[in-house]
Structure 1
Amino acid sequence: METRVLYIDDDVSLAHLVKRNLGRSNHNVVHVHDANQAVERLQSESFDVVVLDHYLANMTGLQILGRFRELGIATPVVYVTGSSEARIAVEALKNGASDYVIKNASEDFLSLLADAVVNTVANSRLRKAKEQADEETRRAKERAEALLAEMNHRVANSLALVASLLRLQASSAQHEETRQVLQETQNRISAIAGMHRSLYSNDKISSVDMKPYIAALVGDLSDTIGGVQSRLQISVDLDDIELTADKAVSVGMIVTELATNALKYAYAEDEKGEIRIFFKRHEEGRARLAVEDDGAGLSSSSEAKPGTSKTGLGTRIVRSMAESIGNGIQYPHTPKGTIAEVLVSLEN
């Protein structure tokens, strides 16, 4: 591959030697005498490398480097300076030169210059290839994230549609048990839909911010349980915790089951009360998920136990999900009401 070299030097004789020497190695050398000519050629043509001499008639190579920088010219530069001027070479490197060659009267200069040109061009091409690969990777990542966000959006909308259909079917059901089963199924589907909604509305496509997710989930649950808003208060105390999608679904399902049953069975039909939902950092690597009430407690009836349902499916869901994300469902002793808790592992 031919290499195009722009050689900036006002010494015509040396320029002729450089052009002939580099030409033997398949380098196409274009010679200019000053900065204005160099800028004009660099802005109108493509060069692989610039060879820049320090001493010119009306300015130094360092000044030309500064001008390149101001104009955004990024062609790599091999700087040429005298044998006793190592300090100038170092200054050139600080100002953007890629390499330097010490000029002397021997033939070593031409050989060293040829090597510097080859190495500088090779390094520049490698750097450009890496930048191109990084840019392609970035674009591929953005495309994948966009596709994933769109998928989560479509899944959330589809699940929301299914939940709406179940709500309509539940409202027209003639038997109370059938209505409750459909309503519980609707709540479970809504919990999964909410997780997908959090994924596509969040900047982080692989994790769910649990604070708004659980808060929205609890709001939806209280709306679906008719007649309880006026007598039961639901409070939430949530830390800023992020979980992977699969763990977020499990937490959402557990909250759905425990809160639904607390809303239904913890208190008598004419009794006022409070249901408290917590998701707090507990200890290193774990968080405490809990649903608490001051109602009838575990011993009064099986229906009063959070995590149970008419079908028994809720119990199995809570037990399975709790074991998959932590230490299983626990019911710590409390003198009044019920506490159901899971210590959730925060490790991926």
Structure 2
Amino acid sequence: MSEASARILYIDDDEGLRRLAERALSRRGYHVETAANGIEGVAKAEAGAFDLVAVDHYMPGQDGLTTLAQLGALPNPPSIVYVTGSDESSVAVAALKAGAVDYVVKGAGGEFFDLLARTFEQALGQRRLILAKDTAEAALRESNARLEALLREVNHRVANSLQIASAFVSMQAKALTDPAARAALEDTQRRIGAIALTHRSLYTSESVDTIEMDEYLAGLVRELERTWSTPQAPRKLALSAEKVALKTDRAVSVGIIVNELVSNACKYAYPAGTSGEVRIALARDNGDFLLTVEDDGCGLDPAAAAQGTGLGTKLIAAMAGSLRATLGYDPVPRGVRASLRAAAA
């Protein structure tokens, strides 16, 4: 918007001053319309798009401040310059507080119109900057919305692909007769499921880069309980999780650690054919989070040979390293209590 193409509305009850203002501003390249009072001026501003409106303070029937308030309430309000008398500084201050971009001291000489034109130029320049800022922000919001939609779609496709991979592994496991090989593939399937669940959480949530861990762990624990709890060996998994939001890669690491610790507890903590409980807790602690997995089983025997392939232990150590944390085992009267502390950010 250039000054030459700007549309100006000049509202003043003084007919002579209106005519002078129209001629003076038109010579400076503005497209000028006038109104004899505030009511007429608001009606014209509502009917046509003006880039700037000049409003006189003293007018019969409706003063300038009332007119200013009505102009400011329009759906797309114009910039407003307030016109006051030389001894009306308090009125000018009130107008600025009410939304006017500037004010000009009223007069009938050439200096007044020069000052009015310069004030218009500054007000229009400010309006251009505001419009450019609004346009840039709108474009940025639109771009962010597109990127978020794309990221959700990516997470959706990744989750679906991981589910397909999990189904393939499950089919392969069922086709095997070697119990050790079948168990290894079933462990792999659960690990894939833990990662797939993070991507599913991302595309179904408001956030596209963080995961609410209480909701994520609730879904993971349900899946693990369905896997490990059988009529012959019931396993109750109890979760207590506070609201903790983690970035995707950190959430994946926590999910894999929980998967491994819970799976180990379900497999090794309790004798075959007996029931048992595994408790998972996630709590805030200042800027950190504290993860614990606990059972009431047979405990760890340091002298006993390691059970399983040892891959789970390596995965836990690797995931803890990615979180810049160390998994430790707390002394408890019965069973095993594993704990991990890491920064939430």
TM over 0.5: yes
Match for residue 199 of structure 2 among 196, 199, 205: 196
- TM-score, normalised with respect to structure 1: 0.89
Per the alignment, residue 167 of structure 2 pairs with 164
Match for residue 149 of structure 1 among 152, 162, 168: 152
Per the alignment, residue 296 of structure 1 pairs with 298
Shift of 1:329: 2.1
| Runs of 4+ in structure 1 over 4 Å off | none
Per the alignment, residue 331 of structure 2 pairs with 333
Change (3 A) 1:7 1:277: same
Per the alignment, residue 250 of structure 2 pairs with 247
Change (3 A) 1:236 1:26: same
Change (3 A) 1:242 1:196: same
1:65 aligns with 2:68: yes
The equivalences for 1:176-325 within 5 A come to: 176-225=179-228, 227=230, 230-281=233-284, 283-299=285-301, 301-303=304-306, 310-325=308-323
Which range is displaced more, 118-127 or 10-19? Answer: 10-19
Q: Which amino acid aligns with 1:319?
A: A
Confirm or deny: 8 A CA contact 2:213 2:244 kept in the other structure. Answer: yes
Q: How far apart are the structure 1 equivalents of 2:335 and 2:98? A: 74
Shift of 1:228: 6.4
Shift of 1:181: 0.8
Change (3 A) 1:206 1:225: same
Q: How far apart are the structure 1 equivalents of 2:171 and 2:76? A: 67
Q: How far apart are the structure 2 equivalents of 1:160 and 1:123? A: 55
Change (3 A) 1:104 1:40: closer
Confirm or deny: 8 A CA contact 2:25 2:32 kept in the other structure. Answer: yes
Say which SS state the counterpart of residue 275 (structure 1) adopts: strand
Q: How far apart are the structure 1 equivalents of 2:173 and 2:317? A: 26
Q: How far apart are the structure 1 equivalents of 2:35 and 2:107? A: 21
Q: Alignment length, in residue pairs?
A: 341
1:258-282 CA distances to partner (integer Å, 9 max, x unpaired)? 111111112221233222222223x
Confirm or deny: 8 A CA contact 1:323 1:329 kept in the other structure. Answer: no
Change (3 A) 1:279 1:188: same
- TM-score, normalised with respect to structure 2: 0.90
Confirm or deny: 8 A CA contact 2:39 2:67 kept in the other structure. Answer: no
Q: How far apart are the structure 2 equivalents of 1:4 and 1:122? A: 14
Q: How far apart are the structure 2 equivalents of 1:280 and 1:70? A: 49
Q: Which amino acid aligns with 2:183?
A: Q
Shift of 1:229: 7.0
Confirm or deny: 8 A CA contact 2:240 2:281 kept in the other structure. Answer: yes
Q: How far apart are the structure 2 equivalents of 1:10 and 1:295? A: 92
1:76-103 CA distances to partner (integer Å, 9 max, x unpaired)? 1111122222222223223332211111
1:88-134 CA distances to partner (integer Å, 9 max, x unpaired)? 22232233322111113553322211111111111112111111211
Shift of 1:48: 1.5
Change (3 A) 1:275 1:134: same
Confirm or deny: 8 A CA contact 1:198 1:208 kept in the other structure. Answer: yes
Per the alignment, residue 177 of structure 2 pairs with 174
Change (3 A) 1:142 1:296: same
User: CA-atom RMSD, angstroms?
Assistant: 2.2
Q: How far apart are the structure 1 equivalents of 2:168 and 2:229? A: 17
Per the alignment, residue 114 of structure 1 pairs with 117
Per the alignment, residue 307 of structure 1 pairs with none
Shift of 1:284: 2.8
Confirm or deny: 8 A CA contact 2:329 2:339 kept in the other structure. Answer: yes
Structure 1: 5+ residue runs without aligned partners?
A: 305-309
Q: Which amino acid aligns with 2:331?
A: H
Q: Which amino acid aligns with 1:320?
A: A
The equivalences for 1:46-65 within 5 A come to: 46-65=49-68
Which range is displaced more, 211-220 or 325-334? Answer: 325-334
Q: Which amino acid aligns with 2:253?
A: S
Confirm or deny: 8 A CA contact 2:292 2:340 kept in the other structure. Answer: yes
Change (3 A) 1:237 1:46: closer
Change (3 A) 1:228 1:173: farther
Say which SS state the counterpart of residue 330 (structure 1) adopts: strand
Say which SS state the counterpart of residue 331 (structure 1) adopts: strand
Give % identity.
Answer: 39
Shift of 1:210: 0.9
Which range is displaced more, 252-261 or 147-156? Answer: 147-156
Change (3 A) 1:240 1:63: closer
Per the alignment, residue 7 of structure 1 pairs with 10
Structure 2: 5+ residue runs without aligned partners?
A: none
Q: Which amino acid aligns with 1:115?
A: R
